[in-house]
Amino acid sequence: MAVDIFVNYQDWLDQQTMPKGQKAALVAAMTLFAERGFDGTATSDIAKQAGISQATIFKYYHTKQDLLVAVVKPVMSHFFPKYRDQFFAGLASCSTLEAMVHFIVTERYHFIMANLEAVKIIVVELLTSSDIRQLLKALLLTDDTDFLAKLLELFRRMPALRSDINAVDLLRIIAGQLVFYIVQAHYVPGLLQGEQQDLSKLVAQIVREISQVELPDSEPV
């Protein structure tokens, strides 16, 4: 059976069977929410950008908040890879804690960069939108329970892993560092030294945080 891999939002949207007006609303909302923020974007702006009427938007989404959730949910639900066999096989092939972290950071970094507009929206709205926070909580506690258990099982093979760490801790630390780096790259790029060097430092920081003992700075994997 072919594996359906979510690459980016536009690729996902192209494969969906929905009316053109609905797709246009989602694309326009994604662009404007990322540029102006949710509160700074009116439905009239979205309608104009999409070339549709506001009535068309409200035909599919009762509120602007419903539209926001529809925009970000596909990216949020695929942040934890759905092609699990491939992902876990790659993770299982790693023989050190550093290699495991490097694999996840590199793999998810490319996902984030391919979905940068949606990630920018999610990061901002997690601070202000209870709907987005509830969506993230639901994804962590229900759909991806098996994913979390398997992730921790693979990491537990490494003696260097902190004994008190759990799967949610791992996700929080890894995702938090990645998102912070993306925000830094967007707002203060002058502080960065280059993608490869920055990601190597990011891996080293994460490894130090989840390790039993303090580790020296590592060479790039």
- Is the pLDDT assigned to residue 1 strictly greater than 50? no
* Model confidence at 82: pLDDT above 70: no
Q: How confident is the model at residue 97 (pLDDT cuts 50, 70, 90)?
A: very high
pTM of the model: 0.69
The span from the CA of 80 to the CA of 57, in Å, is 29
Cα-based distances in Å from 22 to 53, 115, 116, 185: 11, 19, 21, 32
Q: Mean pLDDT across the stretch 89-98?
A: 93
How far apart CA 100 and CA 196 sit, in angstroms, is 17
- Of 29 and 138, more confident: 29
- Interval 24-29 mean pLDDT: 94
- Determine the angle formed by the axes of helices 145-155 and 167-187, rounding to 10 degrees: 90
For the stretch 117-127, pLDDT in tens is 888 888 888 88
| Percentage of residues in the chain having pLDDT higher than 90 | 40
Smallest CA-to-CA distance from 71 within 110, 120, 143 is with 120
- 149 and 86 in contact (C-beta within 8 Å)? no
Q: What is the mean pLDDT of residues 120-137?
A: 82
Q: How confident is the model at residue 83 (pLDDT cuts 50, 70, 90)?
A: low
pLDDT, residue 50, reads 95
Backbone angles phi, psi at 161, to 5 degrees: -65, 135
**CA gap 38, 195 in Å, rounded:** 29
Count the residues in the chain: 221
The answer to whether residue 203 scores a pLDDT higher than 80 is yes
Q: Return d(Cα 191, Cα 9) in angstroms, integer.
A: 29
What's the confidence (pLDDT) of residue 86?
79
Alpha-carbon dihedral angle through residues 125, 167, 3, 106, given to the nearest 10 degrees: 70
